[in-house]
Amino acid sequence: MYIPRAATLAAAASTSVPLNSLTITKTPNGFTTSARGWNSFGIQANAATDPAFVFNQTSVEQQCDVLVSAGLIGLGYSYCSLDSGWSVGGNGDENGRIIADSSLFNMPDLANHLHDEGLQLGVYVVPGGFLADVNKTILDTDITIGSVCSGDNGLDRCNWNYGEDGVQQWHDSVVALFAEWGVDFIKLDFITPGSPDNGVSLPQNESLAVVNYHNAIINSGRRMRLDISWKLARDPSDFSIWENNADSFRTDQDINNSGADSDSFTAWATVQRAIDNYRQYIVLHTSQDETLTIYPDMDNLYVGNSAPEDGVTDDERFTIMNHWLGAGSNLILGNDLTELDDTGKAILTNSAAHSVADFAAQHPMRPRNPGTGEGDAQQLQAWIGGPDNTGNVVVLLANYGPDEGQGGFTTSLSGVQNVTVTWQDLGISGSFNIQEVWHGQNLGVSSQQLTASLDEGQSLLVVMTPEN
């Protein structure tokens, strides 16, 4: 990896924008860090990246066992999450509960295998009851699914009449079954407002599905995470529902190159979009002191395989990781873990970098434009997380390269650029000892600013500690 040059230069002109306190505290289901692990969707949606992968228990166990053998579990990578296709698609059991496709997975056996290694099991669900199950009776009631669920949402499911007797009981029965299997993580997809239609007929508002699943988790007595997606509405009323019921929420659409013939996982243009969508979200929470109770999910991480397979350069792989770390985002890998390259291993096993993730789990970064301290989209950008109660901050400088169409900044500066952020831009003051994260280089002490010479797609991540 290229190591950016950092130095203290003469201060640039800047306006003064207050740096308000922004923290994340315990989530509704009791978590104080974002989720880390692996999810199957990247390989499922991009089959050419791993032609040997079959979405079944054997292949999933082979992938997730690497979380242990590569030492990632020691850095918190514990979730092994199955995406769409693990369950029977057209119907549930005799009570309409979601059940596994037994030709692919034995869920209790899979959970036991993972738990024996210290790993945890995740499953994927979508809203609604099965259309084929409308005449079935919800467990421990005399209520048929069809009497409280109607229409067709395009996912072979009917739409719940939320609030009617029987709806919460169905969710309770499903999550209780998950608890019996040993499920630790639920990914609830196609939630609105927010999710693009994607060829289906979603109701305009499925937010109460989040409430019902949250209640069902509580009622199950088993500790589970609830992750909701995708690109969810950020207005105060909807965000309040997400924040009071879910542990993480998707800030963007999928970032993978979906398509069976695709031999790369993602593209830099899509990553630019994901970073800007996080920016759009977090700037809504920077105008006053605020405490959040939910983590962002910027989608699966594609930083572990070779640059051609990831679809981005090695520098861009580090920059992706820097942003996911600094945002306090879920760190759910989508790569082929059986083919991690040396750069991927360096990115995923760096303990100093994951200390930044621990810091950002309480102090997520927000943008502070060089020269103004504002939060607009810019090609040459600065971010700050903290300060914590000791005054420590994390700072990230980036050159995203020319906007490839979805970055939000529209500029196209080429080649190496000097990115300078002053303490006034960042909203801090005093002298700081500056430590580069990835290689542990001490960049000295500054009381004014930080500068890095960054090529397209490069970034500099530092931890700054106040000098006494």
Q: Is the dihedral of CA 293, 297, 298, 304 positive or negative?
A: positive
Asked if 346 contacts 306 with a C-beta cutoff of 8 angstroms, the reply is no
Residues whose CB is less than 8 angstroms from the CB of residue 142 and which lie 6 or more positions away in sequence, other chains included? none
DSSP 55: S
Please name which of 265, 400, 405 lies closest in space to residue 339, comparing C-alpha atoms: 265
CA distances from 316 to 114, 182, 313, 347 (A): 32, 37, 5, 11
Alpha-carbon distance 320 to 132, whole Å? 43
Query: 3-class SS at 454?
Result: strand
State the chain's maximal CA–CA distance in angstroms: 75
The count of other CB atoms within 10 Å of the CB of residue 430 is 12
254 catalytic per annotation: yes
Q: Which two tokens stand for residue 314?
A: 């090695």
Q: Looking at 50, 172, 254, 315, which residue is catalytic?
A: 254
Q: Which two tokens stand for residue 112?
A: 């036991």
Alpha-carbon distance 94 to 431, whole Å? 66
Q: In which order are the strands placed within the sheet that holds 449-454?
A: 5-7, 449-454, 417-422
Partnered with residue 396 across adjacent β-strands are 383, 461
Asked if 29 contacts 211 with a C-beta cutoff of 8 angstroms, the reply is no
Q: What length is written for the chain?
A: 468
Which DSSP string corresponds to 97-147? ---B-TTT--HHHHHHHHHHTT-EEEEEE-SSEEGGGTTSBPTTSS-BGGG
Q: Looking at 189, 297, 310, 315, which residue is catalytic?
A: 189
Q: Which two tokens stand for residue 267?
A: 């593209």
189 catalytic per annotation: yes
Q: Annotated catalytic sites, by residue?
A: 189, 254
